Amino acid sequence: ETGVTQTPRHLVMGMTNKKSLKCEQHLGHNAMYWYKQSAKKPLELMFVYSLEERVENNSVPSRFSPECPNSSHLFLHLHTLQPEDSALYLCASSQVLSYNSPLHFGNGTRLTVT
């Protein structure tokens, strides 16, 4: 148990589907992150929410839409994805403005787009 829970663990979707990834943190943190990890590539930062406000959007295509309704929950809404979007999507949380607060990661959602 990492303190950051992601559901589902695995997801297969067609290019015309709409689905959502969910992340929940039980650590009392106030910042949350989405990362994407494609095969044989480094983790890529997608979005950062700090104090429930989006502070980073790393040129991510609009077919990925994040939502942070409160400091404990983070969603990634997916629509009209492409096969190259197949990857491991990782959520993380931290305590902002704290130099001793590392990022804590969930175990990810393995997404396959067919």
Q: Which residues bind other proteins (CB under 8 A)?
A: 2, 4, 31, 33, 35, 42-43, 45, 48, 50-51, 53, 55-56, 88, 90, 92, 94, 96-97, 99, 102-108, 110
* DSSP state at residue 75: E
Distance CA 34, CA 41 (A): 16
Q: Which is nearer to other proteins, 42 or 83 (CB)?
A: 42
Q: Measured from the CB of residue 50, what is the shortest distance to other proteins in angstroms?
A: 4
- Judge whether 2 and 106 are in contact, CB under 8 Å: yes
Report the DSSP beta bridge partners of residue 44.
Answer: 36
Cβ atoms 22, 87 nearer than 8 A? no
Q: How far is the CB of 16 from other proteins (least distance, A)?
A: 28
Q: How far apart are CB 29 and other proteins at their closest, in Å?
A: 11
